[in-house]
Structure 1
Amino acid sequence: MRNLDFSSLPALLSTLFGLALITLIGVGVRLLAMQTIQQRRERENRQINERLRTLIAAYKTLGGSFTGNLAVDPTHLGDLRRRAASIDADAADGGEPKTNSDRARRVRDAVEAALSDIILLGTEEQVRLAAKAAGELAAGRPVHTHELVVTLRDFIRQVLDLDVVPGDVAIPKQGPARPSASGGRGKGDGGAKDDARQGGGKGGGGMAAGAGGLGFGAGVGSGLGVGSAADDESEHHHF
C-alpha cells in the first residue's frame, strides 16, 4: 500500500489494474493447487478402492468355506486327467462322474489367482504368507489358507474403520470357497424352456388345426342346410 498512487486518474487506473492482476494470479495459483490436490486425492481413493476390492475378492476365495476339506489340493491338470482316465477305465459302464477332480482343479486355480493378487497388492505380512502358500503349491504339498485369511480379515476391517472382531467369538477355520456347478442347472432350465416353447408351438398348431376343422365343418353344414332349404322351396313352388 506504500507505493500506491491515487494522485491522478491514470495512476489510479494503473494501480487498480495491478491489484486486479495480482489478485487474479493469486486466485489462479490457489485453484491450480486445489485441483492438483483433488486429483491426487481422487487417484489415491481409486487405488485404495481397487486394492480393497481385490483383497476382498481374495478373502472370499480363500476363506469362503468353513466345513469339509479346507486344504488346497495341489494336483495339476495332467495328473487329474490321468486319474480320471483310470477311473473311467475301471468303471463298469464308463459313466463314472469326474466332478471331484474337476472341482479340486477349479479350487486350485482360484486359489492361485487369489494368491497372485495378494502378492501384488497385499501388505508385507500378507505377501509373505501368500508367497509361502504359493511355494507349497508349487512343491506339490497341500496348503491351508486360514492364517492368510485372518490377516486379510483384520486388514480389511481396519481399512474400512470397522470394529475389531471380539476375542471371545470363536470363528471356525476357513478354507477355499467351493465352486458352484451352475452350468448344468442353466442348461437344464434352458432345455425345459425350449421344450415348453416347442410344446406350446405344437399345441398352438393343434388348436389351429382344430379351429380350421370346426370352420370347415360349419361351412359344409351351413352349405348343406342352405341347399336343402332351396330344394324344399323349389319343390313347394312346383307343386
Structure 2
Amino acid sequence: LFDNPQNRGWTEPTSDEMVGNGFCWGQSSHLLAWIYHVCPTLHPQKVFCAMNYSSVTNADVSHSATIVCSDLSSCNENNEISEGNNVIMSISGTSLLPGYEHSDPGVGKRISIAIYGTKGAILYSGDDKDELSGKLKFRDNDTGGKIDLPCGPNVGFHFENTETGGSGPESLQSFIHACIGSDEYYAGSNALDGFRTIQTMEAMYRSNASHQFVEVAYQKVDVGT
C-alpha cells in the first residue's frame, strides 16, 4: 500500500498543512483510537517520534514513538494533575510485514497491546484475520496476576474487519442501527477519541521532522471529559 506510487492519497500529503503521509496516518489511527477509547481519561501532552521511509514513495513505513499523557482520573480537588502522575505510552508500528490482506490467502495485521496500571494489566494481542489468535485478558494484582477474560471465553480477537462482502463490517452495522434509532449498537468511538488520535499523530510527524520532543497542538481546547 505504501510502496505503490499510484496510492497517492496514502503516500503523499493531501494538503499544505500535512507534514507527511504514510503508515502513521493510514494505520496507527486504529491503534491509537483503540487505546484512547479504552483509556478515556488520557490526554496526550508531548511526543517524540522517529520514522523510516519507503525508497519508492517516500511515505513513512515504520515508526517508534514515546507519548506523554496526562490522566484526568488523577486530578486533585483543584482539578490539577501532578506531573508525577503522567502516563507514558510507547508505541511502534510497521507496514513491512510480508503479504497483503486481500491476497489469497490474506495476511492479517499483527497487533499487540499491553496496558499496565495500578490494579493490573490489560493484554490484547492477535492476528486480525484469525479470531482464534487471541482474547482480551486482564491480569489482576489482587489475585497475583491470575488471568481473567472480561469479554468471556468465547469472544476471540477482533481489530479491523476489512471484508467487503455480505452486509459489511460490524462498525457499519452499528452506524446503520444508530441512524435508524435502534438501541442495538455499540458506540465504538466518539469525537474525543478521534481528536486525541489526530493530536497524537500530527505531533508524531512534527517530532520526526524536528528530531525533538514536541508539544501536542490544541491542548487548551475545551473538549470535555
Work out whether the TM-score is over 0.5. no
The one of the two structures with greater contact order (alpha-carbon pairs below 8 A, sep at least 6) is 1
Query: Counting helix residues as a fraction of each chain, which structure ranks higher?
Result: 1
The structure number with the bigger radius of gyration is: 1
Q: TM-score by structure 2 length?
A: 0.23
More strand by share: 2
